[in-house]
Structure formats: structure tokens, C-alpha cells
Amino acid sequence: MKLDYVQALKRVHEARGAWIMHGQEPLLEQNLLDAFRKSWQQQEVERQRYDIGNVNDWKNVFNALNSLSLFSQQLAIEVHGNIKPDANGLKQLKNYIQHNEHNLLLIVLPKQDSSSLKTAFFQTVEANGVVVALTATYPQDRQRILSIEAEKLGIQLNNDAWQWLMQHHEHNLLAAKNSLMRVADTFPDLKQIQTEQLYACLQDQSRYTTYDLSDALLAGNLAQSVKIYQYLIAAGEPDSLILWTLSKEMRLLMQLFEQPHNALQLGIWNTKVSQYQQALRRLNPRQFLTWSDLLLRIDAAIKGMSKEKPEHLMLQAVGELCGKRLFPNTT
């Protein structure tokens, strides 16, 4: 079964069997994980987490699922990584799904390409469990998701305010949520937010934004990109927001390289198509081969799952997008 983010939120409490959630939206991933963890706590479900570094790590996952919990009648296992089970692991997955009644296997993956979604692993879970795409492709999807966030904060936005917020943040849901929190804190007595409040609250933000970083990266201006990046770090911009920006630009450039005539379908604004095309002419496509791994390393470093420094890795990504390798000896 396929569910979108909002549908998945409504079914968290009853989730059993096998679920996959995949995507490139940190807000949606974090919200859904928070909802699962809250539900498990309320139902006194034991939670275990496994990070998959190689295919053999799946053995530990299935061993845990087949063991009786000492603390609870139900077990929820979170699996993070981007390595799918091999043929033997897939056999164990099918066996678990067929015989499981109480436990939950929740697999958290980054954004998957179309070929990955057609593999036996995905097909098995989709046929017997749940697959959740953490995406918000269309403006109405983003507004629906952000309306939930606004409701949590006890505020409503009129139509003009929604339009202004969406344009201000393009596709960045996490930044838009932060703006909703900021405007709710700034105007605690207002329940109906209009454009004037958003403008007053957000126009005095830092001198540089992640959008300035995007523009400098696409222009290949390394000095300016590093300057803006360092400013954002010093200004306290969350690492996850900066990673979102780097990831978005890398992903769009790789997709545009594969589909050079589909810029608008990929979500690139009409006014920015030429910037992406110029960036592609400047970059060597061979660099793209290392980008996915670099983004995974940054994500792991931010989450404290590795000893690498996220600032160092993000600076490396800044250099990559500008066509320069800042740390040649870094693997």
C-alpha cells in the first residue's frame, strides 16, 4: 500500500508489519518519526534502532524481530541507511511479514530513484505493508502540510499570507515551518496572520539566506559561497537547513543532467533554468558519482552517527557544487 505523508500520520497508531518511508524532506521525516515514537511510548512498545552500514547488518535486524522482547509484548525496530537486504534478507523479510502480528519494522531511507522503487524489496513491502513517499511536489501539498504545522501553533494564515510564505521559501518546508514558529512567537496575541505580520517578522532576517547560498553555488562563485556558508553557520542557521539546500541543488543538477529537457517538470523555476544549465556546463559529470555518498555522510554527521564534522563535510559539498575539490585527500 502507498500512503502520502498526511495519510501516514493518521495511521501511525495502528502501524504493524513493515513500513518504508523515503524522501528528501527533513520536516516530514522528523514529524513522522516523532509521531511513531510518541505512539510507541504511549502503547509501551519497545523501540530499537539499527543503522545499516553493509548488507550483513540486516541479520541483526531480523534476529531482533524474531526474538522475544524482555520488556514489552510489542517491538518496533527503526532501520536507517540506504542499503537494501540481499536475496536471503528479502526471504527473511517475507517470512517476517507473513508471520508477524504485533511488531513493526520501520525502514527510513533517503530519496529513491524510479529504478529502486521497482526492486523486489520495495515491491514486497508495497504489496504486504506500507510505503510512504515523503514528498510535497505540488503547492497544494505543501500548503496542506504547513496548515497542520500552523494549527499546532494555534494560528491561521489568510490566502495572501500563504502565497507570500510559499514564494518566500520556495520548496523548503523546514524553513517555512521555522517562519511560522517565528511569527507565532512575535505576535502571540494574533490568531489570524496576514502578509504584514510575515513581512515584518521575516524581512529583518539575516543578511544572507540559504537562497543566497543557492545562487552563489549555481554561479560557481566559491569565495562568495564559502562566505555565505560561514555567515549562516555563525548566525545559527540549522545544519539540517543548509544540508537541505546543498542536497536540493546537487539532486536537481544530477536530474537535469539525465533529463536536460525536463527542467520545469523537475521543479526548477522558469527564472532559474538558465542558472542550472550554466552550472551543468561548468561542472564535470564525473563529480556526481560521489555526491550521494557525501550527502549521506553529512546527514550521518549532523545526527551524531559518525565522528566526522558536519561543517567540514558541508564545506566540501560547497566546493563540489562550485566545481572545486577543497579537500583532495578526503574519502
Q: Which domains does the chain have, with CATH numbers?
A: 2-134 (3.40.50.300), 139-202 (1.10.8.60), 210-321 (1.20.272.10)
**pTM recorded for the entire structure:** 0.62
pLDDT at 329 over 60: no
At 330, the pLDDT band (50, 70, 90 cuts) reads very low
Give the count of alpha carbons within 13 A of 104, CB side only: 27
pLDDT at 68 over 50: yes
Count of other CB atoms within 10 angstroms of residue 10: 10
State the Cα–Cα distance between residues 158 and 192, nearest whole angstrom: 7
Cell of 128: 504486504
Q: Burial, 243: exposed, middle or buried (Cβ in 10 Å; 0-12, 13-18, 19+)? A: buried
Model pLDDT for residues 114-161, shown as the tens digit of each residue? 888 889 999 999 998 999 999 887 788 888 899 999 999 999 998 888
Residue with cell 514558529: 181
Model pLDDT for residues 179-235, shown as the tens digit of each residue? 899 888 888 888 898 888 888 777 655 577 888 899 999 999 999 999 999 888 877
State the Cα–Cα distance between residues 61 and 84, nearest whole angstrom: 12
State the Cα–Cα distance between residues 251 and 322, nearest whole angstrom: 14
CA of 92: how far to CAs of 31, 56, 65, 121, in Å?
Answer: 29, 13, 10, 11
